[in-house]
């Protein structure tokens, strides 16, 4: 087991879950108006391990890391998307006289 002294040098991604009180809407219905959710500090997210709201500073860091991860994943998925346009760009030599057959 690795010994650790002091705070870690890297921030770890904490597991989050949707708030059970407001169901991620950040507000709860009051009698005459909507009230900010007290359980999640009006963020819509709570810690998955404890079920408690994270401090605002930690929540901003966690959501920023998640946003960065999702943005990177989205950009990677856009690069790997193939489709019908790829069939039209290459010659498959299945048409009459060895031309491109598109199936139309």
Q: What is the DSSP string of 52-74?
A: -PPPHHHHHHHHHHHHHHHHHHH
Instruction: Provide the 3-class DSSP secondary structure of residue 103.
Output: coil
Residue 80 confidence (pLDDT) above 70: no
CA nearest to 61, candidates 16, 18, 26, 101: 16
Query: Does residue 100 lie in a domain region?
Result: no
What percentage of the chain reaches a pLDDT higher than 90?
17
Distance CA 66, CA 79 (A): 20
pLDDT digits (tens, 9 = 90+) for 11-20: 788 889 999 8
Closest CA to 73 of 85, 61, 81: 81
Structural domain count, the chain: 1
Domain that holds residue 50: 16-75
pTM, two decimal places: 0.60
∠52-8-2 over CA atoms, to 5°?
110
- Residue 89 covered by a domain: no
24 versus 2: the higher-pLDDT residue is 24
């Amino acid at each position: 087991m690795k010994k650790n002294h002091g705070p870690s040098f890297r921030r770890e991604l904490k597991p989050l879950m949707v708030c059970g009180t407001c169901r991620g809407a950040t507000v709860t219905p009051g009698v005459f108006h909507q009230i900010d959710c007290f359980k999640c500090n009006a963020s819509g997210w709570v810690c998955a391990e404890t079920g408690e709201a994270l401090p605002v500073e930690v929540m901003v860091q966690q959501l920023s890391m998640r946003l960065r991860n999702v943005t990177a994943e989205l950009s990677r998925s856009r690069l790997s998307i193939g489709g019908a346009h790829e069939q039209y760009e290459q010659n498959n030599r299945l048409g009459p006289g060895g031309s491109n057959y598109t199936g139309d």
